Copies of this chain bind each other. A is one copy, B any other.
Amino acid sequence: MAARVTMRDVAEAVGVSSMTVSRALRDDETVSAKTRARIQDTARDLGYVYDTTAQAFRTQKSGFVAVTLPSINNANFAETYRALSEAMAESGMQILLGATNYRLEKEEELVRQLLARNPQALVMTGGHHSDATRDLVRARGLSVIDMWDLPVDPLGHAVGFSYAEAMEKMVAHLVSTGRRKLAFVGASDGADQRGATRRDSAIAAAASRGLPPVAVLDAGPAPVSMRHGAAIAERMGRELLNFDAVLCVSDPVAFGVLSACRRLDIDVPGQLAITGFGHFEVAYTCEPRITTIDVSAHNIGVEVAHILDAIIAGDSERHRIDVGTRLVVGGTS
């Protein structure tokens, strides 16, 4: 392996100091146009490659933003990530991604790993963190953005929406179409904090309307997806007809339930309404289309990127952005 070409090598070849090379390669106007051109040409000829590691070390600015997601295998989180990473690439920042698998302990371990890379900001999904995690970032004075949630006591900034408000809309819609006996299908454990919030919000919304208590159906440990929705619906079989409507923690789960109903010969929405959450592609492609809540995953990414730009530019104002939600009525309710 040939020795690395450094700025010093370029400097010697051109006959200037390495400082001038450093300036020229960053297109610093104080270097005369002629010298700059000569340096840039020589750098190219020698096959010089800029060493970001050295730069990050010297300037103490890593050029990294750390992002944690519960799962990368979720179209909404993936979309937020996509929007975010495209915007950040324009700012010359790179994203360090980590998945928590919906576990707080994993998040803590991940944050520890990510912090070792000196990120300039940390974006986490959800406002729930372990004490150790909170201590870690506070000790660093690191800027934090919580996204997808609007926590009561955010560590820093927040971009998200209100689950309570969304579920309130959903329950109101179901009631307005005559449904009263509701069930909720979600994860059994509380690992998916946001899923649990949706469940609790649905229960509260039903209670406030004087409906009978919402039955909670356990689809297994988080994360739950299509197959878990299908499995629990098939396990319950025609007992599902004890309810007027099944609210699902997400569209994939709702789709699983819907598919199972097809196999069970349960008429949706005739005998049973089904609703989801998240406006996933499957919800608006399947037949009938699933009634759901659109959470504008893309906007969350865009807004987070804006805040990140401000943070990197040195702005210290604290932001809290509600991107809102939208009820999308399909053919399942």
Contact = CB atoms under 8 A, between A and B. Distances in A.
A207 interface: no
Contact of A50 (B116, B139, B141, B262): B116
B116 A225 contact: no
A2 interface: yes
A259 interface: yes
A54 interface: yes
Of A60, A73, A94, which is in contact with the most chain B CB atoms at under 10 Å from its CB? A73
Copies in the assembly, this chain? 2
Contacts of A50: 116
Contact of A282 (B54, B73, B282): B282
Interface centre among A99, A260, A281 (most CB of B within 10 A): A281
Given A56-B53, A57-B54, A113 B96 contact: no
Interface stretch (A9-17, A283-291, A319-327): A283-291
Interface in A46-72: 47, 49-54, 56-57, 60, 62, 72
Interface residue tally on A, bucketed by range: 35 or more
B51 A118 contact: yes
Interface stretch (A31-39, A74-82, A198-206): A74-82
A85 interface: yes
Contacts of A135: 47
A184 to B, nearest CB: 20
B227 A117 contact: no
Given A53-B53, A118-B52, A47 B227 contact: no
A255 B282 contact: yes
A140 B82 contact: no
A116 B72 contact: no
A36 to B, nearest CB: 20
Contacts of A284: 227
Contacts of A75: 73
Interface of A: 1-2, 4, 47, 49-54, 56-57, 60, 62, 72-73, 75, 78-79, 81-82, 85, 89, 94-99, 112-113, 115-118, 135-136, 139-141, 225-227, 229-230, 252, 255-256, 259-260, 262-263, 281-282, 284-287
